[in-house]
Chains A and B, each alone.
Chain A
C-alpha cells in the first residue's frame, strides 16, 4: 500500500494533539500513514500512534540533541526508503521549520499551513490561507512528493487503529543542534493550540490591565491569552501571544476579544475561530462585524462578571 510519512512531535512518548490531527488527515487520504518520531521516549509513542491511524512507526535513534537539519535528513531518507508519496507535519514551530528543509532535500514545492488536504488518483489538492487568511488558495501539488504542514484545530484525530510495525533507524545527524529549551514558566497553553483564546488590546489601558484577561482564561481552564499588535508593540505582552498578520493565526472553538478594536491585520489572524465574542466600549468597533456575540461595555466591568459566570458554569459541569 502506498505510504504517507507523518512527522510526529511528542513529549516523552505522548504525541502532541496537532501531530495526531496531521496523522488523522494523512489516514483520511486512504494512504498508509507512517509516523516518524525522534527524541527521548519516542518508542513509547507506538501505542497512541497506532490507535490514531499509524500503520508503521519509524523511531529515529541516536543524537543527544534535536537537530532540525538532521531530522529533515532523516525524514527525507524515510520518504525514500518507504517510497512515500507525501510528507506531512503539524504547522507548528517544528513542523514549519522542517517543511522547507525536507522539501528542499526532496526538491519539491512545499505547501504550508493547509486547511484541507485530499488525495485523489494520486494527486494531492490542498487549500491554504494566504495574506493571513484574507484569501484562500486551492492548489494541486505537482511535486513527486507532496510536502505539507497542516493547521492545528482543523483536522480530526483518527481512532481505532491496530498495532503499528515499529522500525528503528539511526539519525543522520545535522549541523544545527538544540542545546537547551527554557520551558515557559507555568506550562501555559500556546495561543495556536488552545481551545479557547482570550485576547486583549488597547482597551485594557496598561500592561496590568491584562490581569482580568488572565483571570478569564484561567476560569476557562483550557484557554490561552492572546494580544493585539498594539499591546505587543507597547511591550505589555510578549510577541508569542500576538494574534494577527505579524503574529499567530488562531482557530479556537471560542475567541474572546477584549478591548480590541479589530484592525484588519488582527481580524486576519482570528476570523476562522468557531465562535467569536467581542467586548468593547465602542459599539462601532470593527470587531463587532466579525463577532457572533458582542457586549458593548467597559472590559473592567464586564470581564470580572463573565469570569465569575464561567467559574460557576465550570463548577456545575
Chain B
C-alpha cells in the first residue's frame, strides 16, 4: 500500500510572534520551526500502518527547501521517500491552493492512504485534510484518536462534544490524527545514518491562485492590567465581591 503523511513546518508553539512592516503577515525573522505537533502523529501512524499492512511511506510537504531538515527526520524514523512541493512563498498560500497542489501530487504518487495532522498549529484551520478528501473523492475521518485498518477500509474513533464517535470507512482515505492516537517514535542512530543517503525530491507544485485576500495581521489587544486581590483563603470574599460587583459574572 502506498501511504503518504502530509506534514508542515510551523513556528514552535512557544514562539513570540511579531507583525511584518507590511501589516499583513507574520515577521519570519527569528522564528524557529519544527513539524506541527499533530503531523508527528501522522508520520507515526503512517509508519505503524506500513509495519502492519506493508507498503511504503512518502512524507509530503509544501514549503521551502528548508523543510528538508524536518523531512530528513521523518526519513530517519523510517519513511521511505520524501517530497517537497517547492514554494518559497508557502506561508502566503491559502488552504485551497495547498490542498489542490497536494491532491495533484497524491494522485501522481498513486497513494491509497493519506495521514495528516488534525490541524497545523500556525493557521489553525483544520481544513487541508478534509479538502484533500473532497478533491480526491476519498473517505475521510478527522481528529482520529483510535484507528483499526485493513487493506480495504477500517474503523476509527474521534472525540466530539457529545462523546466518542465510532466511524466506519472504506479506502482510499484521508485520516487526520489527534493527540492520543499514538506516541511518535524517536529516530535511532541507524535510521539517522540511513536517512543521510536518501534523496529528498523537490518539485514544483501546480500553480493555483489564492482565493483569500489578507487585509491585516495584528496582535491581539493586551488585556487590561489586573490586580491581586489578596493572599490565601482570606482573599476569597474580595474575589467574590469583584466578580459580583465589578466583573458582573456571578
The answer to whether A and B assemble together is yes
A residues touching B (Cβ–Cβ < 8 Å)?
11, 68-69, 72, 92-94, 96-105, 107-113, 125, 128-143, 175-184, 190, 192-193, 196, 232, 239-240, 242, 245-246, 253-254, 263-265, 268, 271-272, 274-277, 283, 288, 290-298, 301-302, 304-306, 309-310, 313
Closest CB of chain B to A212's CB: distance in Å?
12
A140 CA / B14 CA spacing, docked (Å): 29
- Known: A93-B160, A176-B168, A254-B243; 19 extra A-B contacts, CB below 8 A, are A100-B128, A103-B95, A104-B133, A113-B124, A125-B215, A128-B124, A131-B124, A135-B26, A138-B218, A139-B212, A139-B213, A142-B211, A175-B138, A178-B165, A253-B249, A293-B243, A294-B228, A295-B232, A310-B250
10 contacts between A and B (CB under 8 A): A93-B143, A108-B211, A113-B124, A139-B213, A271-B220, A292-B223, A293-B242, A295-B229, A295-B232, A298-B232
Q: Do the beta carbons of A297 and B161 come within 8 Å of each other?
A: no
A140 CA / B13 CA spacing, docked (Å): 27
> Given A245-B13, A253-B249, A295-B235, do A176 and B131 touch, yes or no (CB 8 Å)?
no
Closest CB of chain A to B77's CB: distance in Å?
20
Q: Do the beta carbons of A277 and B239 come within 8 Å of each other?
A: yes
- Taking the complex as formed, is B191 at the interface, i.e. its CB lies under 8 A from any CB of chain A? no
Contact pattern, B 112-126, Cβ under 8 Å of A = 1, otherwise 0: 000000000111111
Q: Do the beta carbons of A295 and B211 come within 8 Å of each other?
A: no
- Taking the complex as formed, is B180 at the interface, i.e. its CB lies under 8 A from any CB of chain A? yes
Q: Do the beta carbons of B219 and A135 come within 8 Å of each other?
A: yes
Q: Do the beta carbons of B131 and A103 come within 8 Å of each other?
A: yes
Interface of B is mostly: mixed
Question: When A and B form their complex, which 10 residue pairs have the shortest distance between CB atoms, in order from nearest?
Answer: A104-B134, A100-B130, A297-B232, A100-B127, A109-B211, A93-B160, A104-B131, A305-B233, A190-B161, A109-B96
Which B residue's beta carbon lies closest to that of A110?
A: B127
- Taking the complex as formed, is B186 at the interface, i.e. its CB lies under 8 A from any CB of chain A? no
Which one of A105, A180, A290 contacts B166 once the chains associate, using CB atoms below 8 Å? Answer: A180
Q: Do the beta carbons of A99 and B237 come within 8 Å of each other?
A: no
Q: With a CB–CB cut-off of 8 A, which chain B residues contact A309?
A: 236-237, 240
Q: With a CB–CB cut-off of 8 A, which chain B residues contact A305?
A: 233, 236
Q: With a CB–CB cut-off of 8 A, which chain B residues contact A139?
A: 212-215
A105 CA / B143 CA spacing, docked (Å): 20
Q: Do the beta carbons of B159 and A246 come within 8 Å of each other?
A: no
Q: Do the beta carbons of B162 and A181 come within 8 Å of each other?
A: yes
Q: Which chain B residues in 32-49 approach chain A with CB under 8 Å? A: 37-38
Which one of A176, A192, A297 contacts B139 once the chains associate, using CB atoms below 8 Å? Answer: A176
Q: With a CB–CB cut-off of 8 A, which chain B residues contact A192?
A: 161
Q: Do the beta carbons of B214 and A137 come within 8 Å of each other?
A: yes
- Taking the complex as formed, is B188 at the interface, i.e. its CB lies under 8 A from any CB of chain A? no
Q: With a CB–CB cut-off of 8 A, which chain B residues contact A68?
A: 140-142, 167
Q: With a CB–CB cut-off of 8 A, which chain A residues contact B123?
A: 130
Which one of A103, A141, A295 contacts B239 once the chains associate, using CB atoms below 8 Å? Answer: A295
Q: With a CB–CB cut-off of 8 A, which chain B residues contact A98?
A: 130
Q: Do the beta carbons of B233 and A302 come within 8 Å of each other?
A: yes
- Taking the complex as formed, is B29 at the interface, i.e. its CB lies under 8 A from any CB of chain A? no
Q: Do the beta carbons of B125 and A112 come within 8 Å of each other?
A: yes
Q: Which chain B residues in 149-182 approach chain A with CB under 8 Å? A: 155, 158-170, 178-180
